[in-house]
Amino acid sequence: MSEIETLEAELIGAIDGAADEAALEQLRIAALGKKGSISALMKSLGGMSPDERKVMGPALNGLKTRITEAIGARKSHLAEIALDARLASEFVDVTLPTRDGPLREGRIHPISQVTEEIEAIFADMGFSVAEGPDIEDEHHNFDALNIPESHPARQMMDTFYMPERADGKRMVLRTHTSPVQIRKMENTEPPIRIIAPGRVYRCDYDQTHTPMFHQVEGLVIDKQTHMGQLKWTLEEFCKAFFEVSEVKMRFRPSHFPFTEPSAEVDIGHARVGNQIKIGEGDEWLEILGCGMVHPQVLRNVGYDPEIYQGYAFGMGIDRLAMLKYGMPDLRAFFNSDLRWLKHYGFSVLDVPSLVGGLSS
């Protein structure tokens, strides 16, 4: 092999093996640069005889052209590889949504979730949902419920009063959901079986009290109702709500002006670290008041207590939520802190139902 052929084979081998553009540039300089191997051969032409030069001149020019082409070809090949790699690493699917839509980003507030859970359970037992206004008159909030002006319960409730009207009457922000009982009975013939979830208001504020909170009222009126049914209904509710097969409940005798007899119900639970376990342990937390509807309340709405009796209950939704989902501070419920909502909130698509699961 001639010197030129050997050099060409070497150079082509090196060019084909060049890993990147920098290595290729080094090769180019080493071959075609001022002090490069091909340039050196070119310079040697001057010292040759005219005959030699006739042969070597075109041969060297041919070598120079082929090496220049080979470098050019390798360069574009390397550039292509680099571009492919960049395209692969920087791939953007412009048809994708720019950020998660409301179905994935949005969260259902625990209060809404728990309210829906409660509604699902009672709907399954044949209850329907009733509503009443947040701004109530004193008749429905107090008098018709057998809480006269002088009654201590009226002072104890820390009522928010609206400014007095021209007729001397004052509206109140309802202090409980019990006025919905009255509204329902006033315009319905028994039998009645309703729950009434909603906002209630009392002037109170600490770790377990906020000026606005949530209750769900229950009312059943029929010709033969008794405490046993009330107890069964609440037990079944608690088992379904806390999603446990056994629940420890304690009915304590109590007093409400609108029920006789009256009871308060506590739920047995254990605190293990930060967690609350329902149905175990020796700690009790009051979750509701209940009783047989007072005959005077029945008379106030025009029912004959000799024919109709009923039972009623009022539960704190916020407390139920705190117990079930282990949220220690009620005030955080209403701070509109997105981080809290992301942590404790529920997916928009998980609609609570007894069939599909309440909280799954």
Instruction: Report in angstroms how near the CB of residue 272 gets to ligand DAH at its nearest.
Output: 30
Q: Please, what is the minimum distance in Å from the beta carbon of residue 333 to ligand DAH?
A: 18
CB atoms within 10 A of CB 341: 18
Beta strands in 145-282 (DSSP E): 171-173, 192-201, 212-222, 249-256, 259-272, 275-278
Distance in Å, CB of 284 to ligand DAH, minimum: 17
Q: What angle do CA 305, 294, 226 make, to 5 degrees?
A: 75
| Least distance to ligand DAH, CB of residue 113, Å | 22
Least distance to ligand DAH, CB of residue 206, Å: 17
User: Could you tell me which residues come within 8 angstroms of residue 161 by beta carbon, excluding any fewer than 6 positions away?
Assistant: 170, 171, 172
Q: How far is the CB of 262 from ligand DAH (least distance, A)?
A: 6
Of 222, 322, 346, the closest CA to residue 274 belongs to 322
Confirm if 311 and 230 have CB atoms less than 8 A apart.
yes
Closer of 138 and 217 to ligand DAH (Cβ): 217
Q: Which is nearer to ligand DAH, 125 or 270 (CB)?
A: 125
Main-chain phi, psi angles of 168, to 5 degrees: 85, -5
Q: How far is the CB of 147 from ligand DAH (least distance, A)?
A: 10
Which of 145, 323 has the CB closer to ligand DAH? 145
150: its two tokens: 């002088």
Which of 201, 256 has the CB closer to ligand DAH?
A: 256
CA distance 200 to 134: 7
Which is closer to ligand DAH, CB of 107 or CB of 184?
184
Q: Which residue, 24 or 288, has its beta carbon nearer to ligand DAH?
A: 288
Q: How far is the CB of 289 from ligand DAH (least distance, A)?
A: 3
Exposure class string for 207-221: b at 16+ Cβ within 10 A, else e: eeebeebbbbbbbbb
CB of 193 within 8 A of CB of 128?
yes
18 vs 172, which CB is nearer to ligand DAH? 172
Closer of 24 and 323 to ligand DAH (Cβ): 323
Q: Are 317 and 289 in contact, with CB atoms under 8 Å apart?
A: no
Please tell me the distance from the alpha carbon of residue 185 to that of residue 180, in angstroms, as a whole number. 8
Q: Which residues bind ligand DAH (CB under 6 A)?
A: 176, 178, 217, 256, 259, 289-291, 312-314
φ, ψ (nearest 5 deg) of residue 245? -85, -25
Residue facing ligand DAH at closest CB distance: 314
Please name the residue that has the structure tokens 């359970």. Answer: 121
